[in-house]
Structures are given as structure tokens and as C-alpha cells.
Amino acid sequence: MTDPPAPLPTVSTRPTVVMRLRAAGCVFAEEEARLLAEAAATPDHLDALVEQRVSGLPLEHLLGWAEFCGLRIEVATGVFVPRRRTEFLVREAARLLGESGGAGRAPVVVDLCCGSGAVGAALAVLAGPVELHASDVDQAAVKCAARNIVPLGGEVHHGDLYEPLPARLRGRVDVLAVNAPYVPTAEIGTMPQEARLHEPRVSLDGGEDGLQVQLLVAAGAAQWLAPGGCLLIETSRRQAPRTVDLFIRSGLTARVAGCGELDATVVIGTPVPAVPLQRV
């Protein structure tokens, strides 16, 4: 008769786990220890997970999921981890979808620069039913997003910004939700190790001023948005005035929404209707 497997260490029986995490700078060491203990299959597995976490690997990559808008969003190594501040983008987009009232059809939602697909998946759950599409230039992100979005009836497309979207979506998108990279290139080195070493640079680097991807998104938005459709872009409070300027120069209205609790800033715009020529 073989001995039963050794019980997994818990936070109470393995306080060194919490101590190691806290010493490594993990602010929520107790909670992280609990989650890692729940994810571990054996005591040795727990030790390995803690060692990886202490070395700087994001907790979400170790768990295989991130909590976002009350959902468990699958994430994978090398894929951008959704931030809590981006929940404000989802809330604003859901509010706009609710106010639109629909037109006898499911509204079309596009999650551009989708990463794991967290924004699109959350909108499908919280504001559905919607016709959901997502796209990203990074193949690993696309594979991860498919696991979150396809089960909800959505489609995920691989390519640069609007390029891979089906042509039939032109002029039909009700909400274009975008968390494009907006960190200036020179500031990447100041980001936490978890981000700069373990997330793809393409998901962080917004170019010299942090606005290069936002510029391309805003410039192409009008041809994809339905009449009354909205573009929502997450940005920083510091960059918001320049993001607003990008919207206006691209033929969009622009207003800034913010949430102090989440330290979140979103710029929202709609295409400016063309003014008909007056006959003399």
C-alpha cells in the first residue's frame, strides 16, 4: 500500500511563501500566495511557481488567467496582461451600447489591439448580445484571444489594426474599443519588470510620443464606424489633450472621461457628420 500524497502547503502552514513574495516586492503577498497554492498540483510545483514569481514572472502568466470585470480571462506567457484600469474603458463602452437602444440587430463591437481579448469578452458578457470582432498584430495574442472570444460567438483576426477586419464591417461598427500601446518609447525602461521583460514590446510601445498607434487608429475610425458609432481609446491623463487633438484632426468629436479610483482615462468620439454643400 502506497503512502497518500503529501498535502499541499497552505498560506497558514507555509508562511515562508508569503515571506518570500513580500521580500520580492509583491504588494499583495498573502493573496498571491493563496492563488499560487490553489494552482499548484504538488508541493514541488508550488515551490517552482513561487520561484518563478519571485524572479519576476507575472502572476497571471503563472496562473493562466487574469481577473477582469469579474471574469477569468485566459492569458498566456508573452501576452499582455489586462489592467484593472481598462475596466473603465469597458464600463464606458457598455454604457454607450446600452444608450444606443439597438436597431433590430446585435450591435457590432470591435476590440482593436485586443491582446488577450479581455475588453471584447467583457463587453460580450456585460453588454451582449453583440456581434464581436477582435484583432491584434501579435500571433500569440490572437491565439490567446480566440480562447476567450470564440466561445462567446466572436471572431478574432490576425493583422495590423483594421487590415484584417472583414470588409463587410465598414460603416457598421457601433463601438470600436481600443487599448492601443501608449507608453513613449523612452519610458519603456522605467516600467515594472513584469511588463518590460515578460510582455511583448508591441503591446507597450506607442512610439516616440506614445501616440503613434492612436494616430493610426483615429485616422481610420470614421470609415469603420456606423452613424452614431463611437471610438473609445484608453490613454493617460497627461496624454489626453493630444489624443483629443488626434480625434479632431481625424474628423471625430472628442471628449475625455476619467475615473480617479482606477486612475483611468478614456477619450470618446464619433464621426462628425458631413455638412451638405449649399447651392447658391
Task: Copy the grid coordinates of residue 182.
Answer: 501608449
Helix residue ranges, H only, the chain? 15-23, 29-39, 43-54, 59-63, 87-100, 118-127, 139-149, 193-198, 212-221, 240-249
Count of positions (residues) in the chain: 280
The class level of CATH for 84-269 reads alpha beta
E strands in 179-253:
225-235
Provide the 10 A C-beta neighbour count for residue 88: 20
Closest by CA to 218, choosing from 169, 271, 167, is 271
pLDDT in tens, the chain (280 residues): 445 445 545 544 467 899 999 998 888 999 999 999 999 998 889 999 999 999 989 999 999 999 999 999 999 999 999 999 999 999 999 999 998 765 678 999 999 999 999 999 999 999 989 999 999 999 999 999 999 999 999 999 999 999 999 999 999 999 999 999 999 999 999 998 889 999 999 999 999 999 999 999 999 999 999 999 999 999 999 999 999 999 999 999 999 999 999 999 999 999 998 665 566 5
3-state secondary structure of 69: coil
Which pLDDT value is given to residue 1? 47
The Cα–Cα gap between 84 and 170 comes to 31
CA distance 137 to 112: 10
pTM of the model: 0.90
Q: Where are the domains of the chain?
A: 15-55, 84-269
Phi, psi of 118 (to 5 degrees): -60, -45
